[in-house]
Structures are given as structure tokens and as C-alpha cells.
Structure 1
């Protein structure tokens, strides 16, 4: 009887154990079945806790999050603007990935899921209204004209006689195509923040202040601007420095900066227009204080333009400083505005008188006999001439005569000043009208000698 009771007890325990195992098995299978439609404990999808949620619940949560989506855009000046998902109708597109992920999980391992968490990153497929996105971008502050600063290249500027580099302006002008691409990429990939400068969305200046070519250009130009020369015109002057030369700089065929010789030549031409006096009109004040105008003659200054231009170009290239003179083809005796100066010979046909001045002081005042009017040998008048030569003991030859003289000072071809005591005893008056010279200025020998010793070749002779 005792053995029978013991045997029954064992059967009872075994039954309980079997029942317990069965219950456990059924429970395990039941939970496993539950996780065939729910995500395991500890499952995170794209940063979202998806534990114990069905695929539909996860999808709804994704859509809810999209409704709260914000894209923070940082601009070049640190300012930020935001695009709301709701403003562009951002919507989740069920591409089956959530269902695939649910199906791929091992539901039978739900027990280990409590300690072994699973994290998944999915590229959530979305859609949005592109027209609304375009409108949102149009309304952004960074696209309002009053807020836009265009980029500017660094460039050279002439300042105080030299070139300096004006730095580039970065500006804040956006490349609309690049911006739209960056924004769409961010939205489609669920990014919540982008930096437009880091993504290269801004238009940039093409020449920066440290550009090697710009620096080389500055240095080359400044070397050419070092010139500082003054052309001496007696009581006037003209200066050529950087402020003048800056407009003459060009690049040659090799890309080197140099002087535009045509502009240098044009400058020299202007000097000639302003300062050449040879054969031009002269204003003169006579011994009597009368102001007269003299035209023509061969006295005065003429700049030799080609040589002066060549010299000027070299001055610029070598950075010359100081006072210089143009290269002259013809020169007068004074470079002042009154280029006749204070040493000259004045001859009055009407008065038959001649004066010789030395540094503004009369050294000779003498009667003379000029060209014979009755025979058409008038002495050329109304002009300023220059002494062409000085000859001692010369022989004058002309049509029908040969005449030795002691002092010969021609000023207009065969017309000149000379002594005439060997055949004249009287001077002045009206002798010239009927018994004058062949055009020369006959002068008492003593006075001719004084004039000969006073004047130089080039001394002006005023005849009126």
C-alpha cells in the first residue's frame, strides 16, 4: 500500500512538470507569435523607439514625426532659417521597408531581446510638394534683394600715387541650384540641419587679395609709377609722376606690364603744342613801350618729339626722379614764357634805328640803313629771327656786287647785320627808301663791333 502511494506521488509530480512545461511552451509560442506582428523589445528604428509596436504603428509614428520635421539652415553670417515639414506637405511613403524589417527579425529570440537591443537606420522614403518648397525658398530672407550682397573680385586701385589691392568682397549671394540641391538632399535623408557655407552654396569671388597674378601686377605697375620727373620750361614746368603714368600702363604680348608708347608720345605732342615757339607768334614790347605782335621768323624752340618720347619711356622704366629737359630740335635763348629774353637786337624799319640789349640793358642804340624800298629790297619785317652765324672779315656777294665787311651777322639767309663805313658816311633818316641796302642792316662800324661782341649765334633779332 505504501509503495502504491509513492508511485502515485511521482506520477503527480511528473504530471505537474509536464503541465508546467506545456504552459511555458504555449506561453513562449504565444509571445513569439505576438512578435510576428510587433517589433522586439529594445528595437530602435532611425532613432525612434519601436519596441512592441506593429509596422503600422511605426509608420504612423514616422508620419507624426515628419509633421513635426524642421530643417534648420545656417547661413554665411550665422543667421538661421527654418523649413517646416508641414509647409511643404512632407509625407511618408510606405516603401515596404518597415514590413521587411519586421519580417526579418527573429521573433523566437524575443527573450534575449531584453538584453540585446537592436538599432536600425532606415532611409525613410518621403514625398513633398516641390512647388510649395520653391515658394518657401523664395520667401527666405537670404533671397530678398535688399539682403543680398554680391561677391566682388579683389582689384587694384590707384591711391596716393601707387597701386594698392582692394580686398575681395565675399558677399552672401547664393547659388540657387546648389541651395535647392542641398535642401532636397537634407529633406529626403531626414537631416535636420545644414550649413550653406560648408556645403559650398555661395557664389565666390574669382580673384582674391592673395592672388599671385594680382600681386605681380601691383608690383610691376608700382615700379613704373616710381618716376617723378619735372620738365623745365624756365618760368613754367610740367611734372610726370605716378598720377600721370598710371593711365599709360599696358601689358605687352608676353603679359608684362610696360608703358604704352603711343600715350607717352601723345603727352610729348601736347608739350610741343604748349611750349614750341619756333616760327610762331610772339608778343613783343618795343623800346618805346608799344606792344606789337610778330609772326613767323626762325627763332624759338622746337621739341624733338620722337627722341623726347623715347627718353620719357626710359625715364619711366628706370624710375627716374629729378629735373630734365626735352630733347630739342631748335632752341631759343630763353625758356621762359617770354622766350626772347633780355638779350636781343631790335630793329625799327620806320625809325631806321637799331638797339642791342644785354640782359635787359641797352648796350647799343644806333641809326641804320635797311633795304632799298624803291628797288624792292625791303628788309624782311614783322618777325623774330635768330642770328645764324658770326663771321669776322667776311665777303658779301650778291647780284651785281661783292663787298667785304668786318663784322657779319646774318639772321635771314643773305640778310644780316654788318658794318658799312667803307661806303656810307650817313645812317638813319629816309636814306633806305631810295638808297638803301640789298636787304641787310647797314650799321656804323663801331656799333657793329659792339653788337658782334654782344650777341651769340641764336640771339633773337626783332624786325618791325
Structure 2
């Protein structure tokens, strides 16, 4: 063998030996910057590291940002001989082929750890971090808004609010460190590139250039998204500012709604009159509800929505009554007609008179007149006791067999067994407290001739 060849083989052998020695050392010793439970074990073998760990007491002190935030009671480390295998496993976990200066924080749970002291420490530290956060600034996530057919992304803002969830996890994982130095984990805002923000963008883009038709009785009104929605956001569900559409809903109400308006009504005698504008049998569109209905319809890709879910009214039901009714100028053909002048009531079903009777209305001389206008039967009850206070201040409690109220203030149809004056002029000086008194013999048939929510036209 030539001399050059022998030198090369010798050099190679030396390299192999050195690499072998290096691997052996790496496999049996911790790297320089490694700690186990906060104890520096760099350069030690498993046995040496175990002895150091088992002889180092745990202070249970906790530091954050260089300041001690918890002073714990010193406890024994709690290692037993059974834990030597755990230390060996930790050593194996950090092995690298070549020496490494990378910092590694490893954890080994001692078999006889003081779990109560650790639990008290975690609880106290979590509470302390919550207190510290009270004076700290929370981050502001990126925000996505929709406006004028365009999706806008507002940049996030960082804060110095501690991330309690991450710190609590670190506490659990390092609860047996000899001294706890918490990392400075700040709560991070969601950025424009996050999956959450991208999902919000996609959801709001559904509004771009969307159109919808609003059905109000027999009329249709067409809207673009930017005519309905001033601004929209999405965070799992849609939220809309729909004040933009309010002026249009106001115009629709002026054109079609019946709240505060008089009805044209043809009396039993065939005379056409205009009712008083007072009354509770009416409806109008609630602008906020309408905006939400339209906005949701736009998001859902609907071509048309109906105003019937957006109504409001007066009286016992706040939903509004008479929407979609076209007969008899919106009053329909089932109703009660009451003439104060004639002191008489007529009861109609499907356009036919089914009963009529004399009544005594509210006492005119005391200003307790039965109110004129278009009301409705709020509900019906048998065997009720009517309670209230007369105009003169005297309380009353009157048992009746049949009770059909039509105003929130307590006016309605009922039998009046106590009444003796049934003159057609009785209401002027000897009338009721506002109700329509009926003969006991008439009250039952009248009760059966009425139904809840039907209009009561008083003129």
C-alpha cells in the first residue's frame, strides 16, 4: 500500500473515531442550554442531572416581566429513584448529533410532587394576571365592514394585555420548576390574513350588488343592498345598520299604512262616513324590522320578502292588524258597528248582519264617552270581574258574565245587570265608565257574534 493511501485511511479512521466519540457524548449528555424543571443540566449525564434535580428545592416563586408576582412556599422536589427513567427519557428527547447551543426547557413530573402547593400557585398566579390585565390595553382585532357595495378591512391594533390562556398552559406545563419565569405572552389581535377575517370578508361579499323586492300588500318596492344597508359586519352572524332605508319605509307607510288614519266606512244604513283617526285597529311598518328583514333577505339570496313580519300596531297585540285586508277600505267584512248617537250596535260576519242590540255607552256629562274610532276585540272572557275607578274617584268591582274589551284603558262590551236606565239618551248623564253596557239577554248572543281581533267601528 502506498504511503499516501495509508495516510488517507488513517485520517478517515480518526474521523470515524471522533464522530463516534461525539455521538456517544451527545447521546449520554445534555446539551449546553438545556434545563429540566428550570434546573440547568447542560453537560450532565442522566445520573448527574437526576441527583441535581432531586436535591434542588422548589421555591414556587413566580416572575413575570422581571417582577415577582407570587411568593410561594418552598417544597421538596419530590423526585424518587423511579424518576431516573424519566430523566433518561428527557435526555433522549433533546439529543442532537452535533453539540447544540439552542435553549430547551424540558419538564419531568416528580412522582412525589407537592400537587397542592402547585395548585395553589397556579390559582393565585392566574388571579394575579387577571388583576394586572385590568390596567392593560386589549388588542383590537382587524375588523371587516361592508359599506357602499365594498368590503373594507380595518387594520388590527396591538396591546399589552397578557394572554391568560397561554400563560395558564405554561403554568401547568412548568408547575414543578424550581423558580417560575413566565414568558411575556401578549394577547395577539386577529390580522387581515387570519382565517376568521377572511371568512368574514367572504360572508360580507354576498351583499355586493345584491337586489331584493319588498312586498307590501299588493305593492312591490325594489331595493339595492346599498339602499338598505348603511353598514354591515359579520362575526358568526350578520349585524346591520339599516338606518339608510328608514326614509323609504316612511314613504311606504305614508302611502299604505293605516296607523293614525281614518277609514272610509259604509254604515248599516248605507251612508258612507269617515271614521275618527283614533283607534287601535291599524298597522304600520317598523323601519328597523323592515331593514333587518331586507338585509337578511339580501344575504340569503332571496328575490322577495314580505312586510307582514315587520308590522307594528297598538293595543293588546303590538303586531298590527288589518294588513292585507282590502274589503271595506281595509276593515274587512267581519266587524262590530256602534253608533253613539243611536246607542245601538250591529254585529257582522262575512258581510252579513248576525245580531244587533241597544247599548248604553260612556257617560257624556262626565267626559267618560266611549271613544270613537276603529278599535278591535282584544280578547273575550266569560265570568269576569271588572275593576277600576270612576271619574269621580270611586273604585268599582263589577261581576259580569260576558266581557269583550276593545281598548287598553278598559272599554268593552259586557252585560250590565245592575243598570235600570236603558233609555237611548241615558248615556248623556247616566252612562257607563266608557264601556258599551248591554242587556243581560243581549250580552250572550253578542259575545258569540264577535271574535278576537275583529274591528270595532265606533262613530
TM-score (norm 1): 0.45
TM-score (norm 2): 0.45
- Higher CA-based Rg: 1
